[in-house]
Amino acid sequence: PAARPGASTLPFAELHLHVEGTLEPELVVALAERNGVTLPYPDVEALRRAYDFTDLQSFLDLYYANMAVLRTAEDFADMTRAYLRRAAVAGVRHAEIMFDPQAHLVRGVPLEVVVDGIASVLATSEEDLGVSTLLLAAFLRDRDEDEALDVLDRLLALGAPIVGIGLDPAEVGNPPAKFVRLFARAREAGLRRIAHAGEEGPASYVTDALDLLGAERIDHGIRSLDDDVLVDRLVAEQVPLTVCPLSNVALRAVATIDEHPLLDMLERGLNVSVHSDDPAYFGGHLDDNLAALSAGLGLTDAQRATLAANSVRSSFLPAERRDALL
Ligand code: ADE
Ligand code: ZN
Distance from C-alpha of 97 to C-alpha of 117, rounded to nearest angstrom: 13
Calculate the CA 71 to chain-centre distance: 21
Q: What does 56-111 look like in DSSP terms, one character per residue?
A: HHHHHHHHHHHGGG--SHHHHHHHHHHHHHHHHHTTEEEEEEEE-HHHHHTTT--H
Query: Residue 1: pLDDT above 70?
Result: no
pTM: 0.96
Provide mean pLDDT across the span 40-67: 93
Q: Is the CB of 21 under 6 A from ligand 1?
A: yes
pLDDT digits (tens, 9 = 90+) for 88-132: 999 999 999 999 999 999 999 999 999 999 999 999 999 999 999
Rounded to whole angstroms, the Cα distance separating 244 from 218 reads 12
Instruction: Decide the pairing of beta strands 272-274 and 192-197.
Output: unpaired
Please state the rounded mean pLDDT for residues 237-254.
97
ipTM comes to 0.94
Q: Which of 58, 60, 104 to mutate to test the pocket of ligand 1 (most atoms within 8 A of CB)?
A: 60
Q: 158 and 115 in contact (C-beta within 8 Å)?
A: yes
Interatomic CA distance for residues 133 and 122, integer angstroms: 6
Mutate to test the pocket of ligand 1, among 51, 55, 168 (most ligand atoms within 8 A of CB): 168
What superfamily in CATH does domain 12-314 come from?
Metal-dependent hydrolases (3.20.20.140)
For ligand 1, atom 9, the nearest C-alpha belongs to 169
Percent of the chain residues past pLDDT 90, beyond the cut: 96
Q: Residue 156 Cα, ligand 1 centroid: separation in angstroms?
A: 24
Q: Cβ(275) to ligand 1 under 6 A?
A: no
Determine whether the shortest distance from the Cβ of 245 to ligand 1 is under 6 A.
no
Identity of the amino acid at 237: E
Q: What is the pLDDT of residue 52?
A: 87
Look at residues 295, 290, 292, 326 and name the one whose alpha carbon lies nearest to residue 311.
Answer: 326
**CA pair distance 111, 193, nearest whole angstrom:** 21
Judge if the beta carbon of residue 247 lies within 6 A of ligand 1. yes
What integer pLDDT is reported at residue 7 of this predicted model? 53
pLDDT for 6 beyond 80: no
Domains in the chain: boundaries: 12-314
189 alpha-carbon distance from chain centroid: 22
CB-based neighbours (< 5 A) of ligand 2, an ion = 277
Could you read off the pLDDT of 175-201 as tens digits, one per residue? 999 999 999 999 999 999 999 999 999
Please identify every residue annotated as catalytic: 199
Atom of ligand 1 nearest to the CA of 138: 1
Q: How far is CA 272 from the centre of its chain?
A: 14
